[in-house]
C-alpha cells in the first residue's frame, strides 16, 4: 500500500505536479479522450490544482477551476473560490463548456455512512451543474465514494448521456472506496432541469 502511495507521490513531485491525483486524470484521459484540443473545461473542486495542470496540456480552450480552498495561480486559468453548491458561484461559472470534471470530496469525518452521504450530495451537485453548463455532446467526469446509493446517481446520469461508465483508476490509493463516473455525449439541456438544480442548491 505505502509503496504505491510513495510511487505516485514521488512521481508527482519530480514532474512538478501539485498532487498525486493528477495521474488519475491522465489515466482516464488516455483511455477515454474526454478532452479535445479546443475544449472549454470546468474543473469543479480543483485545489490544489494538479488536474488544472493536466487539463492545460490537453486543451487551448477556456479553463475554469472552482474550489472552497484557494490555489496558487496558474497561467491562463480562471479560478473561482467558493462553494459549488452556492448559486452565486454557479452563476459565475458561465456556460458553453465541452467538458466538466469534478474530483470533489467532502472533508471526511471517519463515519463511513456520513462520508458516503456527503460525497454523494457533492457528486450530485456536480452533475446538476454539468447539466446546466455543458454543451450538447459534452463530457462529464465525477468522483464519488462508493455506496449503495451510487447506482441511483449512475442511473440519473445515464438518462442524460449516451455513454456512462464506472471507473476505478489504477492510480487510486489501494483500498480506496472512491470511483469515478464518466459520461460522454451529453444529450442536451431539458426545460425542467433548472427546477431540479434549485432543489439541491445551497441558498444564497
Ligand atoms: C481530492 S481534492 C481535489 C484535487 C484536485 N483534483 C487536484 O488534482 O488538485 C477535493 C477538493 O474538493 C473540494 N471541495 C469539497 N467540497 C467542495 C464544495 N462544496 N465546493 C467546492 N469545492 C469543494 C475540497 O476543497 C478539495 O480541494
pLDDT digits (tens, 9 = 90+) for 113-133: 999 999 999 999 999 999 999
**DSSP structural state of residue 40:** -
Active site residues: 143
Query: Can you give the pLDDT at residue 175?
Result: 72
Q: Is 74 in the pocket of ligand 1 (CB under 6 A)?
A: no
The Cα–Cα gap between 80 and 93 comes to: 8
Cα of 42 from ligand 1 centre, angstroms: 13
φ and ψ at residue 13, rounded to 5 degrees: -60, -45
Q: Confidence class of residue 193 from pLDDT cuts 50, 70 and 90?
A: low
The verdict on the CB of residue 89 being under 6 Å from ligand 1 is: no
From residue 23, give the alpha-carbon distance in Å to each of 1, 9, 12, 55, 164: 17, 10, 8, 12, 21
User: What's the pLDDT at 174?
Assistant: 75
Residue 7 pLDDT greater than 90, yes or no: no
Q: Is the pLDDT of residue 1 over 50?
A: no
| pLDDT interval class at 198 (50, 70, 90) | very low
At the top level of CATH, which class does the domain 23-200 belong to? alpha beta
Q: How far apart are CA 39 and CA 23, in angstroms?
A: 20
Instruction: Locate the DSSP E strands across 113-159.
Output: 134-145
The confidence score (pLDDT) of residue 115 equals 94
Whole-angstrom CA distances from 129 to 88, 89, 170 are: 12, 11, 27
pTM: 0.92
Q: CB of 50 closer than 6 A to ligand 1?
A: yes
Amino acid at each position: 500500500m505505502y509503496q504505491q502511495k510513495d510511487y505516485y507521490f514521488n512521481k508527482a513531485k519530480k514532474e512538478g505536479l501539485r498532487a498525486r491525483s493528477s495521474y488519475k486524470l491522465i489515466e482516464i484521459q488516455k483511455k477515454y479522450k474526454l478532452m479535445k484540443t479546443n475544449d472549454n473545461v470546468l474543473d469543479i473542486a480543483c485545489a490544489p490544482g494538479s488536474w488544472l495542470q493536466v487539463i492545460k496540456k490537453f486543451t487551448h480552450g477556456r479553463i475554469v477551476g472552482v474550489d472552497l480552498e484557494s490555489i496558487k495561480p496558474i497561467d491562463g486559468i480562471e479560478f473561482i473560490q467558493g462553494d459549488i453548491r452556492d448559486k452565486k458561484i454557479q452563476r459565475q461559472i458561465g456556460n458553453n463548456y465541452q467538458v466538466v470534471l469534478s474530483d470533489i470530496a467532502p472533508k471526511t469525518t471517519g463515519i463511513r455512512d456520513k462520508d458516503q452521504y456527503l460525497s454523494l450530495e457533492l457528486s450530485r451537485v456536480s452533475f446538476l451543474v454539468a447539466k446546466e453548463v455543458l454543451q450538447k455532446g459534452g463530457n462529464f467526469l465525477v468522483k464519488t465514494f462508493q455506496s449503495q446509493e451510487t447506482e441511483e446517481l449512475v442511473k440519473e446520469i445515464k438518462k442524460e448521456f449516451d455513454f456512462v461508465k464506472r471507473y476505478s483508476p489504477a492510480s487510486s490509493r489501494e483500498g480506496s472506496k472512491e470511483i469515478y463516473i464518466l459520461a460522454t455525449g451529453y444529450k442536451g439541456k431539458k426545460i425542467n432541469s433548472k427546477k431540479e438544480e434549485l432543489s439541491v442548491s445551497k441558498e444564497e
